[in-house]
Amino acid sequence: MQCAWSACALVLTIAVAACTGSTIPTAQAPTGQQTAPAPGGSVRTFELTAAPTRIELQPGLTASVWAFNGTVPGPLIRVRQGDLIVVHLRNRLPVGTTIHWHGLAVPNGEDGVAGVTQDPVPSGRSATYAFVARTAGTYWYHSHQRGAEQVDRGLYGLLVIDPGRAAPDSQADRFLVYDEWPLGLEMPSPPADGGAAMSAYVTVSVNGKSGPAIEPINVIPGSKVRLRMLNAGYLVHFVRLDGVTVRVVAFDGHEVSGGRLTSDALPLGPGERMDVEFTAPQRGFWISLQEGFPPSAGAAVEVEADGRARAQGPPADGDIRPVLDIFAYGARAADSPWPQGAVATRAFTLTLTEVARGPGSTAASMPGMEMGDVLYEINGKAFPATDILEVSATDRVAITFINRGRMDHSMHLHGHAFQLLERDRNAVPGVIVKDTVVVRPGVSVTVGFVADNPGWWMVHCHELHHSAGGMMALLHYTGAPRLSSLGGPYQAVPD
């Protein structure tokens, strides 16, 4: 319904513009300030066409999706550090769209946030993004126009940047991309709110397949394997590997050293990535999700040890492992964005709450936002009424998220990586650098970074139903121009 409504509104806008003789301004495109790779890098060009299509999650279960190049996840974008990434987006969707590069500190004009850094690319039109791949690691890309709908429908993919000039040891890499899909996949649009409709999600997919259709992973016994995991969905998942111990080697793309071996279940919140390494055993095993909702038994991945020894079945329900506490993991990233012992020059506290909307509530945020019965608020306000976090270049910025609600909130900052500084006022050991952090109910988390990338940047929950329901704010560098505004002729909705 929302899509139909948007399309009508757009047609109406055009008609009105035509009658009055005025014209709609050309859609603000990505600004493309970076045109050359770093010294030694190359120009890598990719074509991404966003279009409706159908995918088969497993035999008998097909879904009507919106996808990049016809697959969910979209194609893997893999480059080397220093390369210039050039992406031509063609929009064959019935509505406007954008691409955001989650976790990458790109120039503001390439960030792909509708209504903040660009206008949605209209249906039938194209746009080009270009930016230098500065930091190695596991990242991802996804729509940032009406993301609660568009990412949910399938508009996302992985982006991996290999370090330096060394050849990537891609033989050793395996990928696990988790997502959830609604029951009744033929629905014209996914459920719009965080309430009862959520229970409509019943299928977890791994790399775009569910249940028996999930591709096994093949490994050579004795070899080192790097598993790059992404949660593209809206729920926290707990990934367990039965039969090996693993070492975490990267959080949200940021390489760490000195991490201990663990057999704990690995928490992966919406938008988060984690890379782990293990030595492939002689015998096959299973990678599965525990404590899952929706029921995640169907999301188990079989690891075949060179195809020889078959694994026993995945763990039984109720066989639950402790969950790795990443705040206590103690590994060290080399690329700390927080000088040791630094004192913040700007400190913000963002208190996160969920508030039932009373009948007749006027607390609606903006037309087109997917508002359910619950508002997801920051300091008592829903976007776009949330306070702007105003900073200046070179500020040392600390943000404390306090979760006073009952749900997990996976808080993500655009344009920067941050270091985990404190949990519940206790210093976080080691150096853990991330761009997304799950703040559990009752918990406070402080992150820090140096302001070094001017612009207008989103801070929001990556449970996109929550961001669409208000849990978004903007971080602004004093003096930085705003490249696009909310609503307007292109119906920009930035969740």
Binding site for ligand C2O (CB under 6 A): 100, 102, 142, 144, 271, 412, 414, 458, 460, 462
Q: How far is the CB of 424 from ligand C2O (least distance, A)?
A: 26
Q: Binders of Cu ion among 404-423, rule CB under 5 A?
A: 409
Alpha helices in 104-239 (DSSP H): 147-153
Residue among 240 and 409 whose Cβ is closer to ligand C2O:
409
Residue among 144 and 209 whose Cβ is closer to ligand C2O:
144
Q: Which does 294 bind (CB under 5 to 8 A by kind): ligand C2O, Cu ion, none?
A: none
Residue among 208 and 269 whose Cβ is closer to ligand C2O:
269
Q: Please enumerate in sequence order all residues whose Cβ is within 8 A of that of 484, keeping only pairs 6 or more positions apart, or say none.
A: 28, 113, 114, 115, 116, 117, 118, 119, 492
Which of these, 136, 220, 137, lies nearest to 172 by C-alpha position? 220
Residue among 387 and 424 whose Cβ is closer to ligand C2O:
387
| C-alpha dist (Å) from residue 331 to 227, 253, 260 | 18, 14, 8
Residue 464 to residue 394: CA distance in whole angstroms: 30
Residue 289 to residue 320: CA distance in whole angstroms: 10
For 433, the token pair is 């650098």
Q: How far is the CB of 453 from ligand C2O (least distance, A)?
A: 15
Q: How far is the CB of 409 from Cu ion (least distance, A)?
A: 3
Q: Which does 228 bind (CB under 5 to 8 A by kind): Cu ion, ligand C2O, none?
A: none
412 within 8 A of 272, measured Cβ to Cβ: no
| C-alpha dist (Å) from residue 382 to 171, 397, 473, 482 | 46, 22, 9, 20
Residue 133 in contact with Cu ion, rule: CB under 5 A? no
Residue 339 to residue 272: CA distance in whole angstroms: 24
Judged by phi (left if over 0) then psi (alpha if -120 to 50, else beta), residue 469 lies in alpha
Q: Binders of Cu ion among 153-192, rule CB under 5 A?
A: none
Q: Which does 144 bind (CB under 5 to 8 A by kind): Cu ion, ligand C2O, none?
A: ligand C2O
Output the CA torsion 303→285→276→84 (10° steps). Answer: 10
Q: How far is the CB of 428 from ligand C2O (least distance, A)?
A: 23
Residue 282 to residue 243: CA distance in whole angstroms: 10
Judged by CB under 5 A, which stretch of 112-120, 202-210, 257-265, 460-468 contacts Cu ion? 460-468
Residue among 153 and 409 whose Cβ is closer to Cu ion:
409
Q: How far is the CB of 150 from Cu ion (least distance, A)?
A: 18
Task: Candidates 219, 463, 476, 491: give the one binding Cu ion (CB under 5 A).
Answer: 463
Residue among 148 and 158 whose Cβ is closer to Cu ion:
148
Site string for Cu ion, 355-394 (x = CB under 5 A): ----------------------------------------
455 within 8 A of 393, measured Cβ to Cβ: no
Q: How far is the CB of 462 from ligand C2O (least distance, A)?
A: 6
Q: Which does 271 bind (CB under 5 to 8 A by kind): ligand C2O, Cu ion, none?
A: ligand C2O
Residue 54 to residue 463: CA distance in whole angstroms: 24
State which residue has the least CB distance to ligand C2O: 102
Q: How far is the CB of 146 from ligand C2O (least distance, A)?
A: 12
* Bridge-based pairing state of the strands 217-219 and 301-305: parallel
Q: How far is the CB of 376 from Cu ion (least distance, A)?
A: 6
Q: Which does 100 bind (CB under 5 to 8 A by kind): Cu ion, ligand C2O, none?
A: ligand C2O
Q: Please enumerate in sequence order all residues whose Cβ is within 8 A of that of 178, keeping only pairs 6 or more positions apart, or say none.
A: 204, 205, 206, 229, 230, 231, 232, 233, 237, 239, 268, 289, 299
Residue 461 in contact with Cu ion, rule: CB under 5 A? yes
Q: Please enumerate in sequence order all residues whose Cβ is within 8 A of that of 358, keeping only pairs 6 or more positions apart, or say none.
A: none
Which of these, 405, 404, 403, 399, lies nearest to 458 by C-alpha position? 399
Q: Which does 458 bind (CB under 5 to 8 A by kind): ligand C2O, Cu ion, none?
A: ligand C2O
Residue among 124 and 380 whose Cβ is closer to Cu ion:
380
Q: How far is the CB of 315 from ligand C2O (least distance, A)?
A: 30
| Residues engaged in binding Cu ion (CB under 5 A) | 409, 461, 463, 466
